[in-house]
Amino acid sequence: MHFLDLDTIEREDLLKILKYGEHFKKHRKNHEKFLENKSFGIIFEKPSTRTRISFDLAIHESGGHLITLNKNEIHLGRESLKDMAKVLSRYLDGIIARVYSHKMLEELAKYSEIPVINALSDIAHPCQTLADLLTIKEIKGFNIKLAYLGDGNNVCNSLILGASLVGIDMYVATPKGYEPNSYHVLKALENIEKYGEGSLTITNSPEEALKEADVIYTDVWVSMGDKKDENELKYFKPFQINNNALKLANDDCIVMHCLPAVRGNEITDDVIDSEKSVIYQQAENRLHAQKGLLKFLY
């Protein structure tokens, strides 16, 4: 089974992954070595801090072995993905890839005989969503209003799917023309209808999203590989998470950011460093949620 996004799993699958993640967080140093004698390759087209370290530790602490494959160390781009997938399938038990193009992941998965895991693409970031949901579950539970402000990017796309699977009421506020991917919106609405819980509202009003929000989430306005000029960035300024924005939300709201952050753009220092911020708990949970995913897959 591949894990390219959250559009191919059911609610019970996601809840199982989160339950595993909770277990591994509680028993980090003494849990079972369920990946013993298994080896993985992790491909990096894009730089990484949390993804690199969290996957390395998740596999190592679970008894497995990880080989880091930087794009300048392998024949990425000089060899067909079909050949690469088939060769890696003979060596490894799984492929983890952080890439620019989601189509590359799809082609790897098409020819791979072992699971392919999306560690970030231009369309989706499902491993981040697993950590986000684990964090929200720990602090707030899922009977909440989640407000996402900023660019409807890969993080937003996967978060929409994750929220719809667990029954969260999610509001996405973006400037006009920067809404999330229509496929993810439609798939999320299907989930909401299927499970009879949660809701999804897409708006261009940050005030509508922030009103009585329990969780506020933002991400960078310019993702890696993306380009926006100063004329475009001015449209995002009303979507900044600052103290005025917090006044619209519930008093006990929490603030999330997947990091890295551009302080002073999408979020101010006084908010990201405040007691409402759970960004470091969120970052830590990448490790535990990814262990949960690996346990689910293996």
Map residue 271 onto helix, strand or coil: helix
Dist CA 144 CA 146 (whole Å): 6
Q: Which of 258, 282, 288, 290 is catalytic?
A: 258
Q: Which of 2, 50, 102, 286 is catalytic?
A: 286
Q: Which of 219, 257, 282, 288 is catalytic?
A: 219
Query: Which DSSP string do the residues of 91-142 spell out, in sequence order?
Result: H-SEEEEE-S-HHHHHHHHHH-SS-EEEEE-SS--HHHHHHHHHHHHHHT-S
Contact 76, 281 (CB under 8 A): no
Dist CA 185 CA 187 (whole Å): 6
Is 219 catalytic? The answer is yes
Dist CA 59 CA 74 (whole Å): 21
Q: Which of 2, 5, 50, 98 is catalytic?
A: 98
Is 156 catalytic? The answer is no
DSSP category for residue 227 = -
Residue 228 CB partners (closer than 8 Å, separation 6+):
221, 222
Dist CA 126 CA 163 (whole Å): 12
Q: Which of 2, 5, 102, 128 is catalytic?
A: 128
Is 125 catalytic? The answer is yes
**Smallest Cα–Cα separation from 165: which of 204, 136, 206?**
136
Is 50 catalytic? The answer is no
Q: Which of 2, 50, 102, 125 is catalytic?
A: 125
**Element spanning 26, H or E:** helix 11-26
Contact 146, 136 (CB under 8 A): yes
Dist CA 4 CA 96 (whole Å): 10
Is 75 catalytic? The answer is no
Is 214 catalytic? The answer is no
Residue with tokens 């002073």: 264
Name the residues annotated as catalytic. 98, 125, 128, 219, 258, 286
